[in-house]
Amino acid sequence: MGTQFQLLTLFADGGFMMYPLVLSSLVGLGVILAKAWTLHVAHKGTTRVLDEVEGAAASGDLDGAMQIARDTPGPTAAILLVGLRRIKRAEVEAGEIENAVATTGSVELGFLERGLVVLATVANVAPLMGFLGTVLGMIIAFGAIQAAGDVDPALVAGGIKVALLTTAAGLIIAIPVNIAYNFFVSRIDRLIVDMEQGAQRILNLAWDLEKQGRLRILEAKPQEFMQP
């Protein structure tokens, strides 16, 4: 109870700039929790799905391989599934699998990166709002000095306290958010490597099936352009 009262007192002493700072902290916390869960689910089972899909497809069970990829969440499984759907048709145009895999990879990457802009914004704006509170606090302090016509520590203490509280709040928010942002970027880089491995295994599977005569790769049809 005492700690809660002290926090509320510090919040009140920080002035109105504490409201946007608290709001930004709540936004950052929400994005961090959502992104942590999303990346955990996206990475979970990646190695397993790569091995199981490759094994099932190599043995000729394309339906089983597709079911494994369909039941596994994450970008790597999505890439495997879209490639297997093309291979399942037994005839594909040259470059069709590569284009489908690349398109799916771009969509999945966009989903993985969603929310990072918000974290970067909070990490950059929170210290600036804290510094703005610092400036406002100093303005209050010097205004008190001007009004009193004398330098009295009691008069300027309130303004200096506002300056220190908002600066500290901005840094307290920005530091963990920035750490989380860098951690998520590293996790996404790892997922990109997993997606590239999935794409390469699908292409290797297509080449192997072509050599075995189980997949026919047709020449790409020339694009037709309408006359104006």
d(CA 162, CA 127): 14
d(CA 121, CA 173): 12
| H helices present in 14-115, as ranges | 18-43, 46-58, 62-71, 75-88, 96-113
d(CA 24, CA 192): 29
Residue 225 pLDDT? 39
Residue-wise burial string across 125-136, b where 16 or more C-beta atoms lie within 10 A, e elsewhere: bbbebbbbbbeb
Residue 177 pLDDT? 95
Tell me the helix, strand and coil percentages in the chain, rounded to 5. Answer: 80, 5, 15
**Is the pTM above the cut of 0.85?**
no
The pLDDT tens digits for 147-201 are 766 666 666 666 677 778 888 889 999 999 999 999 999 999 999 999 999 888 8
Residue 97 pLDDT? 84
Residue 207 pLDDT? 83
Residue 227 pLDDT? 46
The pLDDT tens digits for 21-31 are 989 999 999 99
Distance of CA 72 to the CA centre of its chain: 20
| H helices present in 59-93, as ranges | 62-71, 75-88
Residue 57 pLDDT? 83
d(CA 112, CA 110): 5
Which residue type does 107 have? V
Residue 55 pLDDT? 86
Sketch the domain layout of the chain as residue ranges: 14-212
d(CA 203, CA 80): 10
Residue segments in the chain with a per-residue pLDDT below the cut of 50: 1-2, 5, 224-228
**Residue pointed to by tokens 């079911």:** 67
Residue 226 pLDDT? 42
